[in-house]
Amino acid sequence: MVSTKLQSKKLGSYPYFSVVLSITIALFVIGIFSVLMLVARQFSQIIKENLEIQIMLNNGLNDAQRPQLEQILLQKPYIQEGKLRFISKEDAAKELVGQLEGENFMELLGTNPLKNQYIINIKSEFYEKNKLAEIEKDLRKMPNIDDVSYAKTSITQTNNNIATISFVLFTFALIMLIVVVILIHNTIRLALFSQRLIIRSMQLVGATAGFVRAPFLHTAALQGIFSGLLASGLLFAILKYLQKEVAELSTLIHLPSLFIIFAALVILGLIISVFSSYRAVSHYLGMSLDDLY
């Protein structure tokens, strides 16, 4: 009887397609949430790095003194490289006249009240209320600087919004990860149900637990890797299509980060599949003969 069973069924051979499909769908969902978290992080970084700080200069600062001040500013660790630009009060006045739809305020006032200024962009890691206050204090101490201004009121609100979005996405991703682990575990356990009698037959002929588990773990490893590759390929194809439709999406998704997500999906699929198969085979190995029927 044992020989007949072993001939009719091969150890470790169970419905391959349904298991791979289930794992692929589960990993694909995890991949979507991972990409959403990546986009949210990149978007928040863009917002932070686009914050502009206006540095108003004293009227007594002449063109000969300005390069020295500029060199000091360029050495500041919080200023982005290449993100320091000078705007003369004449250019600032022209821009303001344009915003006022042609109304020349200088004719009304009889003079140009604006000042020469520098516009700087700070690095994203300094985009915090306390750090920005320290930057403002540092700039105000410098000679020939009259005033420093930036959108203070929006800093706290922006940081709170970014924190809320990040928390919500992380919570959903964590919940989905738990659901995915349970789904894959139950899928593999149900798939191995058809193998329970073969597992017992191998035990009866003296096979060790490690020998019985080996083909199942090997199959599970292949399934996990293949499912991770399928999920990654499907996710990549969808993202490429979306990038063609929405050009701005390219600035929010960097390939190196995307490849890290793909590698994580393959590794996650491998680990969960092998672990679930190990648990399922161990479960059937420990069952009594009566419970197997």
The CATH number linked to 87 is 3.30.70.3040
Do residue 111 and residue 184 come from a single domain? no
The CB-based long-range contact list for 129-138 (8 Å cut-off, 24+ gap) reads: 129/155, 129/156, 129/159, 131/78, 135/53, 135/78, 136/53, 138/76
Q: State the Cα–Cα distance between residues 165 and 186, nearest whole angstrom.
A: 32
Residue 238 has pLDDT above 70, yes or no: yes
The phi, psi pair for 87, rounded to 5°, reads -125, 120
Do the domain assignments include residue 40?
A: yes
**CA-based diameter of the chain, in Å?**
108
Do residue 162 and residue 99 come from a single domain? no
Q: How far apart are the first and last CA of the chain?
A: 16
Q: Please indicate, yes or no, whether the overall pTM of this predicted structure exceeds 0.75.
A: no
Do the domain assignments include residue 19?
A: yes
Residue 32 has pLDDT above 80, yes or no: yes
Beta-carbon contacts of residue 29 (< 8 Å; ≥ 6 apart): 176, 180
Do residue 125 and residue 169 come from a single domain? no
Do residue 99 and residue 233 come from a single domain? no
The β-bridge partners of 86 are 118
Tell which wins on pLDDT, 261 or 5.
261
Do residue 163 and residue 280 come from a single domain? yes
Q: Could you list the residue range(s) of the whole structural domain that residue 17 is in?
A: 2-45+158-285
Do the domain assignments include residue 293?
A: no
pLDDT digits (tens, 9 = 90+) for 206-233: 777 778 788 888 888 998 999 999 999 9
Do residue 35 and residue 59 come from a single domain? no
pLDDT digits (tens, 9 = 90+) for 163-172: 888 888 888 8
In the chain, the number of structural domains is 2
Do the domain assignments include residue 240?
A: yes
Q: State the Cα–Cα distance between residues 269 and 30, nearest whole angstrom.
A: 11
Do the domain assignments include residue 292?
A: no
pLDDT digits (tens, 9 = 90+) for 144-166: 888 998 888 777 788 888 888 88
Residue 244 has pLDDT above 60, yes or no: yes
Averaged confidence pLDDT in the chain: 81
Q: Which of 150, 175, 193 is the last residue of a domain?
A: 150
The pLDDT value given to residue 102: 58
Q: Which of 129, 150, 171 is the last residue of a domain?
A: 150
Alpha helices in the chain (DSSP H): 2-8, 16-49, 66-74, 89-99, 105-109, 129-140, 152-192, 196-204, 209-245, 255-285
Do the domain assignments include residue 94?
A: yes
Q: Is there a contact between 227 and 20 (Cβ–Cβ < 8 Å)?
A: yes
Do residue 176 and residue 139 come from a single domain? no
Q: State the Cα–Cα distance between residues 172 and 118, nearest whole angstrom.
A: 43
The β-bridge partners of 54 are 119, 149
